[in-house]
Amino acid sequence: MQVSSRFLLVWGVVHLYPYLAIEVPTYSSMLIAWSVTEVIRYSYFALSLSGFTPRLLTWLRYNTFFVLYPIGILSECSLVFLAAVGPAAAEKEYPLALAPYALYAILIIYVPVSAR
């Protein structure tokens, strides 16, 4: 689920509507949440392969989730919503005219599916 949501955000929203990445601060908060999460996760995995995992890193691995997950989800949902009400709603040609409805459908299932 995590990979598909990141593909959606990067290719389905930011690539199609790049001004959202420039003008909307939630793009930066999303990237920060993603980046901090991955640095902690892969540092933990790499060090655990060596048999040494510092207690601080273990604590960060299992506790930053409580702060970074809501920041990431809120940022992701706001970008999808802003794309749906903004540029996607302005599309008039057939395949792209359905984009806002697809984005709204994604928003409806996004949080319940992500929480699993």
91 included as an active-site residue: no
Angle made by CA atoms 33, 26, 2, in degrees to the nearest 5: 45
* SS3 of residue 71 by DSSP: helix
How is residue 25 written in tokens?
């601060």
Our answer to whether residue 76 is catalytic in this structure is yes
Catalytic residue among 17, 69, 91, 104: 69
Does residue 80 contact residue 86 with C-beta atoms inside 8 Å?
no
The closest alpha carbon to 35, from 58, 68, 13, belongs to 68
Catalytic residue among 76, 91, 94, 110: 76
Q: Annotated catalytic sites, by residue?
A: 69, 76
